[in-house]
Chains A and B, each alone.
Chain A
Amino acid sequence: MEWIYDIIEPVYLLAAILFILALRAMSNPATARGGIVWAGFGMLLAIGVTILIPVTLPSSSTLFLNFVLMGIAIAIGGSIAYYAAIKVQMTNMPQMVAIYNGMGGGAAGAIAAVDLMLSNWPANQYAPLDIVGGLIGSVSFAGSLIAFLKLQGWMTQKPVTFPGQNVVNLVVLGLAALFGAFFIIQPAFLAGFPVSLLAMFFVLGLLYGLFMTLPIGGADMPVVISLYNALTGMAVGIDGFALNNFAMIVAGVIVGAAGSLLTYLMAKAMNRSLSNVLFSAFGAKEETGVELKGSLKPTDPDDVAVQLAYSSKVIIAPGYGMAVAQAQGKVKEMCDILEQKGVTVKFAIHPVAGRMPGHMNVLLAEAGVSYDKLFDIDEINPEFATTDVAMVIGANDTVNPAAHRQGSPLFGMPVLEVEQAKSVVVLKRGQGKGFAGIENDLFYRDNCKMLYGDATDSLSKVVQALKKL
């Protein structure tokens, strides 16, 4: 039956090439959709030929049952995931990305576990790889699950901290590593890993994932989600080595590299190191000792409407508040009216606005705002000086000029320089501080007015007022 590999291996190669081309196509909005379809085709081929692999194995009493189980698992897992992905609201996308990514990590962990249990195949010289892949996979699984719970609102989005947290985390990770090392240097166990010991090893991995994610707050989620994406990729790649499976190696390693880069970009967009994001429970403490001059100046929807209608250029800077209020539809409605009146409307998108990388872009696309109008921070910052009104919708830290002030916890973070516009309107639910617990200098500036209330309500009133003008 060796000829089966003459089919399987070339198909894996083809799938790997398609994966790479698909990621390449992802760098341009015009080609992205075609890319994912090709990747899907490659995946179907790879999965299709994989069904042949167990046929090459010495037949065992369980082989038939295993095939039945395989069919059931694919049917259940696939249909539930597909249904959930189609039905879920766009505002809930960050947690969907987190949970599906976690499932990949869980699968990688489970694969490593089975490979370790199957000590007689293939005379397991790859056990160390399974240990590493299994650990990373289980950390990613538990961590993504916590990220999901936080984003879904089933758990507080605030950092969960307790004294000595970093020490506890380190001990858990250390114990897991010790277990892993013990498996590797004790060749006697290679004759068969005791299931109970293996279970303890994986439980430690899961615990570490849990503990690692608890102290990370909501606004840091873009970093965390993309970090776990990278970790799952790595786990899959390492498992691929252990199983000598080229489709898994290429897919896993590419995603590991791409995810690491994205994680780095997210951390850089906050001017913080990855370890600062992971270990400092940012946002748990508040800044003290800074006195701000000026006052908060409330305004009302009618004034805002007049101001907007007589502008020639308006830039909108959305943030997580827009997602919470689900205000993207109203934003689009307002834009349409303004454009009919001849006002140029652009959007300023901060890389870490929202709860996942690119979150705002997705919401605005859902509302029907064309991506031609969405601009990255570097493109849009020079434009604020020539802008009549900058409208901030539910964003706070990403527009805080405190980032230019030495000594501020935000110091050095690239921010949208909305304060340079002739006037600024901030839509905000209440007078609270941003996620980072830092007073926002912007709100006290002379050219800044506050429009308090739920973003959707406020915008509805602005839209009504605009229609009357």
Chain B
Amino acid sequence: MIQPPTWVIQYLPLVYIAFLAAFTGYEVISRVPTLLHTPLMSGSNFIHGAVLVGSMVMLGLAQNLPEQIVGFIAVLLGAANVTGGYAVTDRILEMFDRAKQREKKPEA
């Protein structure tokens, strides 16, 4: 049996994943109302904080001082991205919740 060439095995699945993920991203948010544009943006800002995962791998692999310095910067920035992104998003969404509830009370 003939094996497919290496690039098919190695790269093609990744390209498929990229396309599917791009379509998913597009479809999932295509009807978001203006109301939620900020939390959507800052929520996706948090999600690309997955960059921290890569930063940690890279710092783990570092073998000399320059690599350690740049790796350290990567983890530092990645950690800031992920925690800051989460905190901002949660704070905004909490406000939306609270504003909604506060308005409901007087009617009840």
Known contacts A51-B56, A104-B77, A248-B54, A57 near B61 by CB under 8 Å: yes
A36–B92 Cα distance when bound, in Å, is 11
Would you call the interface of chain B mostly helix, strand, loop, or mixed?
A: helix
Q: List 5 A-B contacts (CB under 8 A).
A: A37-B90, A97-B41, A108-B51, A258-B25, A356-B38
Min Cβ gap B108→A in Å is: 13
C-beta contact mask, A35-54 vs B, less than 8 Å → 1, else 0? Answer: 11101100100110011011
B68 / chain A contacts, CB cutoff of 8 Å: 62, 65-66, 69
B36 and A254 contacting across the interface, CB-CB below 8 Å: no
- The verdict on A189 contacting chain B, using a C-beta distance below 8 Å, is no
11 new A-B contacts at CB < 8 Å, known A252-B51, A376-B35: A27-B40, A62-B62, A62-B63, A69-B68, A73-B75, A97-B41, A103-B84, A111-B51, A243-B57, A250-B17, A358-B36
Known contacts A111-B74, A257-B26, A247 near B87 by CB under 8 Å: no
A85 and B54 contacting across the interface, CB-CB below 8 Å: no
Q: Which of A66-105 contact B (CB under 8 A)?
A: 66-67, 69-70, 72-74, 76-82, 84-86, 90, 93, 96-97, 99-101, 103-104
- The verdict on A387 contacting chain B, using a C-beta distance below 8 Å, is no
B81 / chain A contacts, CB cutoff of 8 Å: 81, 100-101, 103-104, 107
A100 / chain B contacts, CB cutoff of 8 Å: 42, 45, 80-81, 84-85, 88
- The verdict on A63 contacting chain B, using a C-beta distance below 8 Å, is yes
Residue of B nearest to A265 (CB): B37
A262 and B71 contacting across the interface, CB-CB below 8 Å: no
B93 and A33 contacting across the interface, CB-CB below 8 Å: yes
Binds B, one of A154-162, A228-236, A287-295: A228-236
B83 / chain A contacts, CB cutoff of 8 Å: 77-79, 81-82, 85
B54 / chain A contacts, CB cutoff of 8 Å: 107-108, 111, 236, 239-240, 243, 245, 248
A69 and B66 contacting across the interface, CB-CB below 8 Å: no
Residues of chain A having any CB pair with chain B under 8 Å: 15, 19-20, 22-24, 26-29, 32-33, 35-37, 39-40, 43, 46-47, 50-51, 53-54, 57, 60, 62-63, 65-67, 69-70, 72-74, 76-82, 84-86, 90, 93, 96-97, 99-101, 103-104, 106-108, 110-111, 113-115, 117-118, 121, 141, 195, 225-226, 229, 232-233, 236-237, 239-241, 243, 245-259, 261-262, 349, 351, 356-359, 361-362, 364-372, 374, 376-377
B38 and A70 contacting across the interface, CB-CB below 8 Å: no
B87 and A104 contacting across the interface, CB-CB below 8 Å: no
A110–B59 Cα distance when bound, in Å, is 10
Residue of A nearest to B89 (CB): A36
Known contacts A252-B48, A255-B44, A66 near B80 by CB under 8 Å: no
A114 and B34 contacting across the interface, CB-CB below 8 Å: no
A104 / chain B contacts, CB cutoff of 8 Å: 45, 48-49, 51, 77-78, 81, 85
